[in-house]
Structure 1
Amino acid sequence: MELRHLRYFCVVAEELNMTRAAEKLFIAQPPLTRQIKQLEEEIGAPLFIREARGLSLTPAGKFFLEQARQILDKVNTTVSDTRRIASHGKVIFGIGFVPSVFYGQLPILVRRLRQNKNLEIVLHELKTGDQVEALKTGLIDIGFGRLRIDDPEVDQELLFNEPIIAALPASHPLAQKRPSLKELSEIPMICYPAGRAPNFVDISLGLFHRRGLRINVAQQVNDVQTALGLVASEMGFCLVPEQVRRVHREDIAFVHLDDDNITSPVLCCRRREPPNAVMRLSNVILEELVENRRTGRYPPATERDGGSPRRPPEGAEDSVP
């Protein structure tokens, strides 16, 4: 089995039409049909159901498609990173994140890591579930999300539980108080992110459903910035993690709820393997930033005012290749 077999299979699986797949691959249809047949014979299982109206994937084919995509993603990432390392002589460190986490101390972590001239930091905006796959394929080395994922190849660490607050139009009467979920349920709600579950939508709606409250979802959007734009347009409210209030907008009021126990976890994902020098440095910085938050030093004054933050233990930064 060669990589071209995997590439051919993925295109056919996406098109579910041999003619269109052949055109997309710039090869003739008969050779493509033979390649797919050879792949099925080598695997020892049919990957497609062939019917007059077209192709469909067998259960084995669906499983193989998922695995083939991971393999190709890993190969593409490896080739890309190898070229980058060869051209710059740097170590690549990939960080995955959900957008709401990037309003907190994650930018500080990135700035601190970038102080090492031998490191190139690559950021990837990914949902928590996608971060797990990105860790396994090597696209990222560490991820920050909000949903718990059970995977034997990935460790998930709870950094802290963050209060959930409401973003309301500044002119709305509820913007002048700490509203209850019952009060919020009486006005339209903007949800994010749109897309496959589980996501922050499930966390938000679950808060109301568990209390027997019905909510009117006005619209689902892909990211928090769009949600805030709709709030500013007075289309409704949205629930956001507390650190999102660092976005200063005159037309939006960020208010705490009357229940302080409504929180969202901030989780860190890593591959289940011994940490290398870069990961050890990242862990030292991350531990300091989390401690700053827990003790109320958030953000550290030195970071806010442009000064130098407290350095990691002696030798931690120098140990990075």
Structure 2
Amino acid sequence: MDIRQLKYFVAVADARNFTRASEVLHIAQPPLSRQIQLLEEELGVQLILRNSRPLRLTEAGRTFYEQALQIINRLDQLKTATRQIGLNQQRTLSIGFVASTLYGGLPMLVRKLRQHYPDVDIQLVELTSQQQFAALTSGRIDVGFGRVRGNDATVARTILREERLVLALPPDSPLAGESSRIPFEAIHGQKLIVYPKEPRPSFADHVLSLLNDHAVRPAEIHEVREIQTALGLVAAASGICVIPASARLRSDVQYRLIDDPRITSPIIMSHRLNDTAWYIPALKEMVAAMYAENPPWLNVEHSVFPGIGAEPAVAPPVKTPRGRKKPGPV
């Protein structure tokens, strides 16, 4: 079975006559009849009642007609979309992200992209940081936003900011005092919940590495799949958890900023090495502009800006899809 046979069958079903269908298709009637016969033989069912005038479809024929029509239309859409992209009539931008970036700047960044580049089809794909590296190499995504530093030589990385980490505590924990800051060493001897359990390496490994660097030894480590589970267990007094400052999701948990500016989690933008596509400078421009606005989710006290600063610098003009030029920060 091939697409040609599907088109032949749809033409016969629409015309309800082999002669008229052959005229529409610009082929002789005998080969058209033969292709429909081969199709029925392959399926093992009769599709057309040939002894009626006009021709009628069997029950199986009606089902096959509906499905064949969808396949043909979908193929036409695929051809049109591919041609549009190839001719630069439509552009796509696939963005990979880790879930925790949704609590910070990613939603605002995507809104800005859609506002400034309305002709671009923006697709969001949830992937771990490690999965993003493979997806960039394969071309599945164009850019990724993650939290784990990788060592893939084919991927370029920009640290947008270092986000301070906080300790999530049960409300009745002795550590949940009035002070807004807590020493990292307070985790020593505590039951610690880390996430995600898999795939690895992940944010969990980043936290465990920080503990090891500071010779902090929890009494017990419990691994869970996602941050929502981790914070739920904290609320149930099953342990404590280290999370990014922007991910304070539950009101029944106490949060205390870790009193060490080195205890951070990076927000990293990754893209293919030597990629000179339009979206690289555009994204950097918008991230810097976004930070300069100091939105409510961006607590400057909880962030360090090693790469793209909070105050934007003027860069060369960037063309929008509509041909307008505007200066922007990088």
Fold match by TM threshold 0.5:
yes
CA gap 1:186/1:82 in 2 versus in 1, 3 angstroms: farther
- 8 Å Cα contact 2:119-2:321 kept in structure 1: no
Q: Provide the rounded CA distance (Å) in 1 between the counterparts of 2:246 and 2:290.
A: 14
Question: 234, 239, 264: which is aligned to 1:231?
Answer: 234
**SS of residue in 1 equivalent to 2:140:** coil
Cα shift at 1:319 = 5.1
Identity %: 32
**SS of residue in 1 equivalent to 2:319:** coil
Greater share of helix residues, 1 or 2? 1
CA gap 1:314/1:181 in 2 versus in 1, 3 angstroms: closer
Q: Provide the rounded CA distance (Å) in 2 between the counterparts of 1:231 and 1:83.
A: 52
Q: Which moved more, 1:233-242 or 1:195-204?
A: 195-204
Q: Based on CA coordinates, which of the two structures has the bigger radius of gyration?
A: 2
User: Which residue pairs with 1:253 in the alignment?
Assistant: 254
Cα shift at 1:135 = 0.6
User: Which residue pairs with 1:164 in the alignment?
Assistant: 165
CA gap 1:320/1:278 in 2 versus in 1, 3 angstroms: farther
Q: Provide the rounded CA distance (Å) in 1 between the counterparts of 2:125 and 2:156.
A: 19
CA gap 1:198/1:315 in 2 versus in 1, 3 angstroms: closer
Cα shift at 1:299 = 7.3
1:102-158: CA deviation from partner (whole Å, max 9, x where unpaired): 211111111111223312221122121111110111111111112221223211111
The answer to whether structure 1 residue 243 and structure 2 residue 239 are counterparts is no
Q: Provide the rounded CA distance (Å) in 1 between the counterparts of 2:150 and 2:120.
A: 29
User: Which residue pairs with 2:190 in the alignment?
Assistant: 187
Q: Provide the rounded CA distance (Å) in 2 between the counterparts of 1:150 and 1:320.
A: 37
TM-score (norm 1): 0.62
Cα shift at 1:86 = 5.2
**SS of residue in 2 equivalent to 1:129:** helix
Cα shift at 1:242 = 1.4
Cα shift at 1:159 = 1.3
User: Which residue pairs with 2:108 in the alignment?
Assistant: 108
CA gap 1:184/1:299 in 2 versus in 1, 3 angstroms: closer
- 8 Å Cα contact 2:105-2:297 kept in structure 1: no
Cα shift at 1:297 = 9.4
TM-score (norm 2): 0.61
1:169-193: CA deviation from partner (whole Å, max 9, x where unpaired): 2232312233323322232111101
Q: How do 1:142-161 residues align onto structure 2 when only pairs under 5 Å count? A: 142-161=143-162
Q: Provide the rounded CA distance (Å) in 2 between the counterparts of 1:175 and 1:239.
A: 14
**Paired residue total:** 229
**SS of residue in 2 equivalent to 1:102:** helix
User: Which residue pairs with 1:85 in the alignment?
Assistant: 81
Q: How do 1:1-321 residues align onto structure 2 when only pairs under 5 Å count? A: 85=81, 90-115=90-115, 116-176=117-177, 177=179, 178-245=181-248, 247=249, 249-292=250-293, 298=298, 316-318=319-321
Q: Which moved more, 1:82-91 or 1:259-268?
A: 82-91
CA gap 1:82/1:94 in 2 versus in 1, 3 angstroms: farther
Q: Provide the rounded CA distance (Å) in 2 between the counterparts of 1:257 and 1:84.
A: 54
Q: Provide the rounded CA distance (Å) in 2 between the counterparts of 1:218 and 1:208.
A: 12
Q: Provide the rounded CA distance (Å) in 1 between the counterparts of 2:239 and 2:81.
A: 47
Cα shift at 1:222 = 1.7
Unaligned runs of 5+ residues in structure 1 are 1-78, 301-309
- 8 Å Cα contact 2:187-2:217 kept in structure 1: no
Unaligned runs of 5+ residues in structure 2 are 1-74, 301-311, 325-330
1:161-218: CA deviation from partner (whole Å, max 9, x where unpaired): 1111111122323122333233222321111011243221122122222333321345
Amino acid at match of 1:111: R
Q: Provide the rounded CA distance (Å) in 2 between the counterparts of 1:129 and 1:187.
A: 29
**SS of residue in 2 equivalent to 1:173:** coil
CA gap 1:265/1:136 in 2 versus in 1, 3 angstroms: same
1:224-267: CA deviation from partner (whole Å, max 9, x where unpaired): 1221121122211110111213x3x2201221013232112221
**SS of residue in 1 equivalent to 2:161:** strand
CA gap 1:258/1:250 in 2 versus in 1, 3 angstroms: same
